[in-house]
Amino acid sequence: MEPNEALGIAAQVAVTLAGFAGVVVIFRPQALHQWSALDKFRLQLLLTNSVLPLTYSLLGMLLLTVHPPIASIWRWCSGVAFVIQILLIVFGRNPARTIASAQLHGANKVLFYGVAVLGTAAMALQAINFAKWNWFWPFFAFIFVHLIAAVVQFTRMVLLVPEKE
């Protein structure tokens, strides 16, 4: 599969997942401001993990249209993705401040830290790809990890009963 095809499919999946976030909000019994901190955090993760792959895919598709082709296209894509991710980590809100530690137990904790480990590995791939490789697959792996995280969040929000405050 060519990079432009893979990026196009990833962008379609990301838009679909972002749309599913709206479906989740509509079919919940309470208004959004009545949700628990954990449910709001899950929605934030779903939206973030949908918007970022869309943004990264569109960036890659934009750079693929440049003529003559940029020799280090995947290096730049990985560098931009890495910087954006670092900025989100540094300036994003800390869920530990708003979510009781009792709510982050069992499956919640395993999924949260499991996805965090995958995300960290994907970020390491971005740093290596920027510094040395200039390959497509590490950049696409980053998009893939975000999409998988969004699917996990969507599934959990649909299947689980809303958390109580």
- The whole-number pLDDT of residue 59 equals 97
The region that residue 106 occupies, defined by phi over 0 for left and psi between -120 and 50 for alpha, beta otherwise, is left
pLDDT digits (tens, 9 = 90+) for 126-161: 999 999 999 999 999 999 999 999 999 999 888 887
- The whole-number pLDDT of residue 48 equals 94
pLDDT digits (tens, 9 = 90+) for 15-52: 999 998 888 888 887 888 888 888 888 899 999 999 99
Joined tokens for residue 89:
């980590």
- The whole-number pLDDT of residue 21 equals 87
Distance between CA atoms of residues 138 and 157, nearest Å:
29
Outline where 1-159 has alpha helix (H): 3-27, 37-64, 73-91, 95-98, 106-128, 136-159
Domain ranges of the chain: 3-159
pLDDT digits (tens, 9 = 90+) for 48-68: 999 999 999 999 999 999 998
What pTM, to 2 d.p., does this model score? 0.91
